[in-house]
Amino acid sequence: MTPRPTLIDCDPGTDDAIALWLALASPELDVRLVTAVGGNVGLAHTLRNARAVVGLAGSAVPVVAGADRALTAPYVDAAHVHGDNGLGGLILPDGPAAMPGVAADAMRAVLREAAPRSVTVIGLGPATNLGLVFATEPALAGRVAEIVLMTGAVGEGNVTPSAEFNAWNDPEALAIVLGCGAPVALATLDVTNQALCTGAEIAALRAAGQGACAAAAARIWEGVKPSRRSGGRGHEQHDACAVAWAVAPGLFVGTPVFVEVDCGPGLGRGRLSVDRWGRRGQAANATLLERLDAPRFFTLLTARLAALP
């Protein structure tokens, strides 16, 4: 197995931290760059958290700061979910210093040097940084094997009745990514809600791993409030689903679809419009992940987290 060159754009965020550790623990991925965007919390926090997560894993992957707000809209955070510092109040040791420069420039530099259709791009936050990459240098989509995004909702949203937070935060950037021409896979709320972390998963992680990353992950899980959507049974591991698709696509059932995102004002902003049956006469531009084998997902996630330092 040859690890695939991988770029990860994120806004840590409790579930981003878990997803980053999964990526860094996965031999299928050669993580070349981690970029931060303002999203779950402000950029100062997401950048520090990304550095801390990478550092705790003993990784030397460069971390670069990106956009602190959406392309056109004012910044709005989700600190009510992730806590003021983004990690539910957990304070991790400071990681390696951020590399100088801007995230979009750093991603473009990696893609320019890559072979055609060779790089996996994983987006775990608002798509602002990725939108800037493909809006300013569209030809770089030809260097991408797949873009995997945790974004959007086909059914009910989590920030409005229609929209998921990442898609709602910067739908204009998401529209650029969906239209860039590279293969796209979407882990929407409809599939990530199936990755429900309960007390049983926390206990299994504590039993499996004694390293600092596994202990921190368990503390993060313990600190996240159970979701109303789950009836208080647990909380969803949204972002780790995007990484899991890149690592073990057999965990999912996906459907080719044509998808657009609503960039207009009002309650529809950020909503995904999904055409499974070709009613629009448009070729599929994404794979919509629809079903997850949750027990196997948590087995993989627990084993990978437990293997970290």
For the annotated catalytic residues, the residue numbers are 238
Measured CA to CA, the distance from residue 104 to residue 183 in angstroms comes to 19
Residue found by looking up tokens 């409005």 in the block: 160
Range list of β-strands (E), 179-221: 184-187, 196-197
SS3 288: strand
Measured CA to CA, the distance from residue 59 to residue 95 in angstroms comes to 10
Q: What is the largest CA-CA distance in the chain?
A: 53
Q: Are strands 286-292 and 252-261 parallel, antiparallel or unpaired?
A: antiparallel
With CA atoms as reference, report the closest residue to 146 among 12, 5, 282.
Answer: 5
With CA atoms as reference, report the closest residue to 81 among 229, 205, 241, 240.
Answer: 229
Read off φ and ψ for residue 133, nearest 5 degrees: -60, -55
Measured CA to CA, the distance from residue 187 to residue 240 in angstroms comes to 10
Measured CA to CA, the distance from residue 234 to residue 29 in angstroms comes to 29
